[in-house]
Chains A and B, each alone.
Chain A
Amino acid sequence: MDPITQHIERTRREFLTTTASGLGMAALGGMLTDDGVISSAVAAELGAVNPLAPKNSHFDAKSKACIFIFMAGAPSHLDLFDHKPKLNELSGEKLPDSLLKDVRFAFIKKDAARLMGTKRKFTQHGESGMEFSDLLPNIAKRSDDILMVRSMHSSQFNHHPGQLLMQCGRPQFGLPSMGSWLTYGLGSESQNLPGYVVLTSGRGSSGGATLWQSGFLSSVHSGVLFRNQGEPVLNLRNPTGLPPELQRKGLDVLRDVNQGRFQEVHDPEIASRIASYELAYRMQSSAPELIDVSGETKQTLEKYGVERAEPDIKGSRGRSGNTHQSFARNCLLARRLVERGVRYINLVYASWDHHSNLDTELSYNTSVVDQPIAALLEDLKQRGLLDSTMVVWGSEFGRTPLGENRGGSKNVTGRDHHPYSYSMWMAGGGLKGGLTYGSSDEVGWGIAEKPTHVNDMHATMLHLFGMDHLKLTHRFQGRDFRLTDVGGNVIPEWIA
C-alpha cells in the first residue's frame, strides 16, 4: 500500500473509531434506515460505529455468555465443598506455629485460635464422585457439569479490595470489571438490551457499584443495574400520564429536529444520539418483557423457586425482603438474558461474611441459592445453552479452618477471612464438567496442589471466550492494561 493510501486508511479508521463515542446498537446506519428512523442519505454520512457491535474473537470461542454468580462476603468453602476429615479430627487444637507465622487475621486472636471442624456431612455425587456438603443438595446433583476448583487463592485480605480483584483483576479502583472487558473485546449480541447486566439480591455488597464499573473504558461498557421487579431499568417508565403514542410522537419530532441539526453541522455524534433515543425506546418494551416471567411454565417457575415462601429463620445477614424469591427470579432472568444475547450477567448476592453464627447463616444462605442455581444449570442444559454459557460461582476469598474467637470470646461460632486457599466452581461454556481441580492441605489452610490465582481463572475464562488475555488490552496513562494485570496463565486442564 502506498503511503497516501495508507494514510487515508488510517485516518478513515480513526474517523470511524473516534467520532461516535458510543451507543448500544448494531450496525447503526443499516438498522436506522431499515427502521425508517433516518434517511439513507443521513445514514451514509454517519460514520458512527457501534462500540457494542459484535466483534471477532482472537480465536474460536466456546463461550458466548457468562453468568457470574458472585457470593459477596466469602462463603465457607470448608462447610460447602472442601471436605477435610482431618480438620474434624483436630478440631479444638491449635494450628501449628509454622502455619501461623506471618499470617494476618481480621478478627481472630491468633494465639488463642483453635481449629474448628465442620458440622456438615459430605457425600460424593455423580459419576465423578465430586464432594459437596449437605447444604447444597441440588447443586450437587449437577456435579457432572461442574468444574470444582479447590485451590483458589487471592492476595487480598479485606472485602472491598478482594472483590475488586475478583471482578477487575487487581485490587485497585478505576479499572474495568470483567464484564466491561468482555463487551469491550467482543461487543454484544443483544440489540435491545445492554451487553452487561447486573442483578442483586440481599443486602448491599462491600464493593457496591465499583464492582461493575468500566474504569478507564467508556461507560458504554459499565454494567447496567437491572431490578427484577417493577421498573427493571432506572427511568424506564414514561412519566405518569404520558402514553406510548405520545412517546413515539415525541421521539419522531425529536429525531426530525436532531436530523435537521445534523444536516447543518454534520456531526456524527448527532446520529449517535438519534440512535441512542431509539434504542432507549426499544428498551422501554424489551426490558419489561425481559422481567415479565408470566410466559414461563409453571414447572419452570417451580423449578427455580420463583414463588417459594421465605422461610422463617431469624438473624439472617443475607436476608433483605423476600430474598428467596428475589434470588430465584434473578437466576431465571439470567437465563432469559442469555437467550436475548446479553454477554455478561453478574448476579450479586451478599452477605456470606460469617464471622459468627456460621451454622444458621450458612444454612439460610444456601437455602436461598441452592435450588435456583441448580435449576439454572439444568435449564440451560436442557435448552442447549450450557455449552456456550459459562456459569461461575465464587467469592473474593474463603474462610479459615480456625474458629473465630472474636474479641477473645470463648463462644466460637464463625470463621474469619481466608485468602490462602479456597474453592470456587464453574460450569458450561467449554469447561470440563466433573473435574475437581487442585486441592488444599489436610486442614484446608494452604494449597497442596495446583494453586490457581484469580488472574489464572480470568485468563482461562477469556480463553474460552476466544480471547487471548495478553492481547485484550487498553492503553491508559501510557500503559497497556489487561484484565489479568501482570499475571494469569490459561489452565488447559479446565478446557473440555
Chain B
Amino acid sequence: MITRRTWTMLFTVVAALAFISASAFLSADEKNAQSTDVKLPPPVEGKVDFVRDVQPIFVKRCVECHGPEMQEAGFRLDRKKDAFVGGDKGPAFVAGKSANSLLVKYVAGVDPDLIMPPDGDPLTKKEIGLIRDWIDQGADWPKDADLTVPASENTHWAYQPIVRPDVPKPDGSAWVKNPIDAFVLDRLNGRGIKPSPETDRYTLIRRLSLDLIGLPPTPEEVDEFVADKSPDAYENLVDRMLQSPHFGERWGRHWLDKARYADSDGYEKDRARPNAWRWRDWVIDAVNRDMPFDQFTVEQLAGDLLADASESQKLATAFHRQTLTNTEGGTDQEQFRVEAVFDRVETTGTVWLGLTVGCSRCHSHKYDPIPQREFYQLFAFFNNGDEANTNVRISDEAVERFNKDKATHDTAVKELQRSFEAARTKLAPGLAKWIESQVGKSTGWSVAEAAELKSVGGATFTKQKDGSYLLGGQNPASDTYTITLRTKLNHISGIRLETLPDKSLPANGPGRVKHGNFVLSEVSVTARPNGQEKHTPIELSRAAADFEQPGSGGKPSWTAAATLDGKPETGWAVSPQFGKPHTIVFETKENVGAENGETELVITLSQQYGSQHTIGRLRISLTSDQRPINIDGLPKNIVDILAVAADKRDAKQQRELLVYFTDRDPAVQQLKKQLAALTKKAPKSPFMAVRVIAQRSANPRKTHIFRRGEFLQPTVEVQPDILEILHPFKPRKQDSTPDRLDLARWLMSPENPLTPRVAVNHVWEHLFGRSLVPTMNDFGSRGDKSTHPKLLDWLASEYIRLGWSRKALIKTVVMSATYRQSSAHRRELAEIDPQNRLLYRQNRPRVEAEIIRDLSLSAGGLLSRKIGGPSVFPPLPPDIAALSYANSFRWTTSKGEDRYRRGMYTFFKRTAPHPNLTTFDCPDGNTTSIDRQSSNTPLQALVTMNNEVFFEASQAMARRLLTANLKDDNARLAYGIRICVARQSTDKEQSQFADLLSAAKTWYGEHNDDAIKLVGSYAVDGASPADNAAWVATARVMLNTDEFLTRE
C-alpha cells in the first residue's frame, strides 16, 4: 500500500535529486537566489566550530535515529565517514554547498511533510544557520570529533575534569558575602539584574530551620534571633542548626529518597522488613556525625569489604538492600535477584554519577558513550554482593547489660552442669552391666529391604551398603515417596525411619534442600498380608523422634506427632541439627503381619513443605518388640560403639556410652529438664539481625551481558570495570578482580568529574528548591547544562577541599547572600527569567510531605522529637491497609508518643503507603528518587483541613492558645500567627482571622453540642465550649495558609 506520505517522500527525493543535478550548473549567487526561493534560513556570521556549534545539534536532534543504534534511511550522523557518504537518498551535504544540502532542506522543512526531526520542535533558524555556515565554510569535521570514538575525547561538559574556576570580581561586590555570590552576581550583572535584598530575620530563621532541621522555630527562638544584634548572629544560628540532632533527620531523609528506603519488601506479598529502620538510623547518625561524603559512600557501597569491617560498616551496606524482594509464589528467584542487581547498578549510576546507565541494560546508550558492555561491567561489581544478615547491637547499653547477665547465667548453668555430671558419675558403675546386657543382642530392629521405591517428583533411589537408600535425580520442590516392603516378620509393632547424612547431599543432608533440612509432612502405611487381595490402612498410634525442630519460642514446632495429624502443612523437621542421623519411630496400633508367609507393606512419606524440603537418604526398619516400643531404640552410633571390643573403645566412645546410658535415668532426665529450662532463660542476645549486602564467599558468579537485558539470555562474559568515559580506574590490586570497594573508591576519587558535581547539585536543590543542573538525574548529553557552570565547578571543588564535609558545604551555601535573598517574585523579571534560573531571588517551595505533618503537630505542641527507633503507625484510614495483597496487612495504630512522631518515621508499606505522605508527593520507595515533585491538588487541601492527625493538631493548637499566658483574643490571634509563620502578624490578617473567630463563636454559642464535638478531648478548663470550638475552627484555618505550608 502506498500512502500519501510515501508518495510525497518519493516525489521529494526525485525532485531533490533533480534539483541537485540542475544546480550543479549554477553559480554560487544563483544558488543563493534559489535558496531564497525556498526560504532557507540564512547562514549565521562568523566562524563556526563543529564541536561547539554543530555537533550538539546533531546529538540532540538527529543521532537518535541516525546513529549507532538506528540508521533511518541508511544514514548516520555520529561518525565522519558515514556522515559524508550520506544515506539511501544520496549525500546529505557537500562541503561549500549548503543551499543544495538534503540535510539542510530536511531540517528547514522545505517540504513540511518531511521535516526533520519528525518529533518535537523544528530546529531554530539559528541552528539551521549554523549548519549551513558549517557546510559553506568547508564542513570541517575534526578527525577526532566522532561520537563513537575514544571516550576520553568526548567533549560533553559533564565528562570534563573539574577545574576550580577563578572567583570573579563583579561590580556591586558589597552584596557579595562569599564566592557563591560572586559567581551569581557576575551572571546577574551580565543581564543587568540586581539581586533581591536579604529577607527579614523572621523569614530567615524559619527558612533556615525548615531547610536544616525540618522543624519550625519556636516563637522564643525567633525573638532571640531577631533581638540578637551581634554581627555573627546569623552564623551562630547556622552553627546551632548544624549541630542539632534533627539535622541528621532532615538530611538523612533526603538520602532515604535516593536509597528507595521502605519498611516492606515490595511486590505482591510485600512483607514487612521489621529491622529495616536500623539502616535508616545509621543514615541519621552518619549525617549527624558529619561523616565525610566519601566515607559515607564507601561504607554504604562496600562497607563489608573494608578491612576489619565494623558492625556499623556492615550495616551501612543496607543501602543497596533497599531493593525490592518478590516472594510471590512461583517466582524464579534468579530473575528477581538479577532485577535487584540491575536496580543497584542503575541507582548507583543515578545517585553518584547522575547518569542514566540503566538505558544500557538492553542496548548501548543512545545518547551517552555508555556501551552495553560497560553496564554489565558495573553489574559485575554488584553481582557477587548477596543479601545476608548481619548482627547489629541493639545498643551499647544492651550489650553491657547482656554481658553482665550472661556472666550470672553462665555461673548458674555451670553449677547445674556440675550436679549433672555428679549424677552421671554416680550411675557410672551400672554402665558395665548394661553394656553386657546389650552386647550381642539384637537391637530389636531389623532393616527392611524395599521391593519398590517411587517418587512422585521423579527422584531416584540408590541402594547403599548399609541398607539405606540415597536420593538422586530430580530434586522437586515437594515430593511423596512410596516404599513397598515385603517382610516375613510377624506382629509388627513399630516402623522406624532413619534419615541419614550423606556427603552427596547439600550440607551433608539429611534433607535435599540447600541447608540440609527436610519436612516429613504426613506418613501413612497400608498392609496386605499374604493371601489377602487388598491393602488395608494401618493405624499408627504414636510417633516419636530423637530430635524435633524447635520453633521461635524454643518449643518444638516441627514434631514427630505432626506427621500423623492429617495436615500437610505441619510435619517433622530437624533444623538446626543437620549433617547428623535422625530417627523417627511409628508404633502401630494393632500388630501387623501374616501368621505364616509374607506381608506387603506400603509406606507413604509425604513431604509437602516445598522448596526441596525432602529427605535425601533413608532407611526403614521394623520391629516386633512389645509396646511401648523402646522408641529411642539404640541409635546407630551406640550400636556401632557396642560392636567395638570393650578394650578398643576410645575415651570419646566411652563417654558417648555413658551419656547414652545415664540419659535414661529419671534423676538425670530431671536435671536435663532443669538445664533446658535454665538455658531457655538465657539472657537474650543484645544483637539484632539486619539484612545487608555481603560478598558472596563461595561459588562467585560470573557476569555475562544479557541480550536485551533478559536474564535468561546470557552472552559474552565480562569482568568488573568502570565507565571508560570517566577518569582512570586504580584498583587496590593489579592482579586480582576489582571489587565493590575499588568501585566505591573510584567513584569518590577527586578526579571523578561527575560525583562532586552531582553531589553539590543535590545539596543546592535542597537549599533552593531548584538545582543548578535542572536535569538532576541526567548529566549526560541529553541533560540540561548548569545555569551556573562555574559556580557548579567551584562548589564541586570546594566540597572536595572541605574534605567532603556535608555540614561545611551546607554552611557555605546558607552563609551566602544568594541564599539569604527574599523569595518574593519580581514581576518585572517574570517574563525574562520566570524560573529564576539566574538566582535573582530565593524560591518558595512547598514543604515536603513529612514536614507538613511535623509543622502541624508542632504548632499544636503534639510533635514528639524522639529520634530513631522502629517505624511507627500513626492513624491510617482502614481501607488503605486493605489495599494490600489479599488483605494480608494489619495496621495497628501506635499509642502514646509514637502516634505523634515525625512524619519520616511512619511505617512505609510499599503497596499501600500512607496517603498523607503520597498525597504530598512523597516518593513510593520502589525506585530511587532524586528530586521530589511538588504538586498542588485538592486532595492535599482535604488532608490538611480534615485528616484526623491534622485536625487533632488544630484542636491542640486551640488548647495551646487558650492556656498560654495571653491577655485577650487579639493576643491569642497574634501568637497563633507567630506559631505558624514565625513573623509578627499584620493588622489585616489579624482582623481576617478575628472575623472567623467571631463568626465561629456566634455559631457555636447556638450549637453547644457541636462545639463539644469539635473540641473533642482537647477541652480547656475554664473555657466555654463555644469559645473553645471557635478557636479550634480558627486554628484549623491558620494551619492551612499557603505561607504555613511554604518555606518562604
Contact = CB atoms under 8 A, between A and B. Distances in A.
A104 B995 contact: no
Contacts of A18: 834-835
A493 B959 CA distance: 68
Interface string B923-947: 0101100000111111111110111
B374 interface: no
Interface centre among A23, A225, A233, A246 (most CB of B within 10 A): A246
Contacts of B1010: 241-243
B1040 A277 contact: yes
A453 B529 CA distance: 61
Nearest to A163: B268
B775 interface: yes
A235 B947 contact: yes
A490 interface: no
Interface string B317-341: 0000000101011111000000000
Interface in B568-587: 568
A219 B937 contact: yes
Contacts of B476: 109, 408
Nearest to A417: B330
B203 to A, nearest CB: 10
A21 B927 contact: no
B1017 interface: no
Contact of A205 (B328, B885, B1011): B885
Interface centre among B331, B777, B886 (most CB of A within 10 A): B886
Interface centre among B886, B910, B938 (most CB of A within 10 A): B938
A113 B268 CA distance: 26
B897 to A, nearest CB: 23
A234 interface: yes
Interface stretch (A125-133, A257-265, A303-311): A257-265
A15 interface: yes
Interface in A61-112: 104-107, 109, 111-112
A238 interface: yes
A262 B927 CA distance: 36
A254 interface: yes
B438 interface: no
Given A158-B326, A158-B330, A173-B927, A21 B832 contact: no
B1013 interface: yes
B270 to A, nearest CB: 7
B992 A276 contact: no
A253 B995 contact: yes
A234 B951 contact: no
A120 interface: no
A219 B830 CA distance: 26
Interface stretch (B9-17, B160-168, B550-558, B1029-1037): B1029-1037
A477 B270 contact: no
B996 interface: yes
Nearest to A15: B834
Contact of B1033 (A8, A21, A246): A246
Interface stretch (B227-235, B377-385, B559-567, B820-828): B820-828
A237 to B, nearest CB: 6
Interface string A26-48: 00000000000000000001010
B477 A407 contact: yes
A204 B937 contact: no
Contacts of A8: 831
Interface residues on A, range: 35 or more
A277 B938 contact: yes
A458 interface: no
Interface stretch (B137-145, B241-249, B624-632, B999-1007): B999-1007
A245 B356 CA distance: 53
Contact of B825 (A20, A224, A267, A274): A267
B478 interface: yes
A261 B834 contact: no
Given A245-B1003, A417-B330, A234 B936 contact: no
Contact of A174 (B367, B827, B924, B1043): B924
Given A22-B935, A283-B942, A258 B1041 contact: yes
A157 interface: yes
A408 B456 contact: yes
Contact of A219 (B912, B935, B1036): B935
B936 A238 contact: no
B892 interface: no
A21 B119 CA distance: 25
A128 B328 CA distance: 40
Interface stretch (B407-415, B507-515, B778-786): B778-786
B834 A19 contact: yes
Interface residues of B, number: 119
Given A220-B935, A253-B996, A265-B825, A104 B332 contact: yes
B883 A208 contact: yes
Contact of A266 (B479, B824, B926): B824
Contacts of B827: 45, 266
Contacts of B673: none
B938 A276 contact: yes
Interface stretch (B32-40, B491-499, B805-813, B913-921): B913-921
A253 B886 contact: no
Given A104-B332, A159-B328, A160-B268, A478 B783 contact: yes
B126 interface: yes
Nearest to B941: A280
A451 interface: no
Contacts of B487: none
A254 B330 contact: no
A440 interface: no
Contacts of A19: 834
A479 interface: yes
Contact of B350 (A104, A225, A477): A477
Nearest to B919: A219
Contact of B945 (A235, A266, A274, A416): A235
B621 to A, nearest CB: 26
A258 to B, nearest CB: 5
Contacts of A269: 844, 846, 936, 1042, 1046
B871 interface: no
A200 B882 CA distance: 10
Contact of A477 (B268, B778, B940, B1042): B778
A432 interface: no
Contacts of B883: 200, 204-205, 208-209, 225
Given A204-B883, A250-B1036, A276-B941, 9 more contacts: A15-B835, A158-B328, A161-B326, A206-B267, A235-B945, A253-B996, A262-B1042, A277-B1040, A280-B945
Pairs of residues from A and B, 10 with the lowest C-beta to C-beta distance, nearest first: A106-B330, A208-B911, A241-B1014, A241-B1013, A173-B926, A206-B268, A15-B834, A280-B941, A280-B938, A478-B782
Interface of B: 119, 124-126, 266-268, 270, 324, 326, 328-332, 350, 356, 358-359, 366-368, 456-458, 474, 476-480, 568, 608, 610, 775, 777-778, 780, 782-783, 823-827, 830-835, 844, 846, 877, 879, 882-889, 910-913, 915, 918-919, 921, 924, 926-927, 933-943, 945-947, 951, 954, 986, 988-989, 992-993, 995-996, 999-1000, 1003, 1007, 1009-1015, 1029, 1033, 1036-1037, 1040-1043, 1045-1046, 1048
22 contacts: A14-B834, A158-B268, A174-B926, A209-B913, A209-B924, A219-B935, A235-B942, A241-B1014, A241-B1029, A242-B1036, A260-B986, A261-B1041, A262-B1042, A273-B941, A276-B937, A280-B942, A280-B945, A350-B886, A407-B610, A477-B359, A477-B778, A478-B359
